[in-house]
Amino acid sequence: MAVTVRIPTPLRKLTGNQSEIREEGGTIREVLKNLEVHYPGIGERLTDESGELRRFINIYVNEEDIRFQDGLDTKIKLGDEVSIIPAIAGGAE
């Protein structure tokens, strides 16, 4: 099942500057696994040592945040758009 993955600018140096990638997978977890196969190094930017989504990374399938669905096990279907969105955060302290 091929879906479109939108790559945010901070990660494009790992994808040869591509902003959109076609990737296979039935769940987000599978898509991320395949991304790492094709673009080594991207996986550790998205998930931690235990394989869970990093705190400052958000992933949307179409219009919905996967944290409010089944997380990395969220199923995807043909033609879905997956967006990877690093949080923007900081502060005076």
Partner 1 sequence: MNEEVTLPAVLGEEILAHCRAVRPEEGCGLVAADASGRPVAVIPIANALHSPVRYQMDTREQFDAMKRIRREGWSLWGIFHSHPHSEPSPSPTDIRLAYYPECYYLIVGLSTDPPKLRCFTMVDGRVSEAALTLVP
**Rule CB under 8 A: which residues touch partner 1?**
9-10, 56, 58, 60, 65, 83, 85-93
Nearer to partner 1, 24 or 81 (CB): 81
Q: Which residues contact 3 (CB under 8 A, 6 or more apart)?
A: 22, 23, 24, 25, 31, 76, 78, 79, 80, 81, 82
Nearer to partner 1, 37 or 81 (CB): 81
Residues in 33-92 that interact with Zn ion by CB under 5 A = 90
Asked whether the beta carbons of 92 and 17 are under 8 A apart, the reply is no
Residues binding Zn ion (CB under 5 A): 90
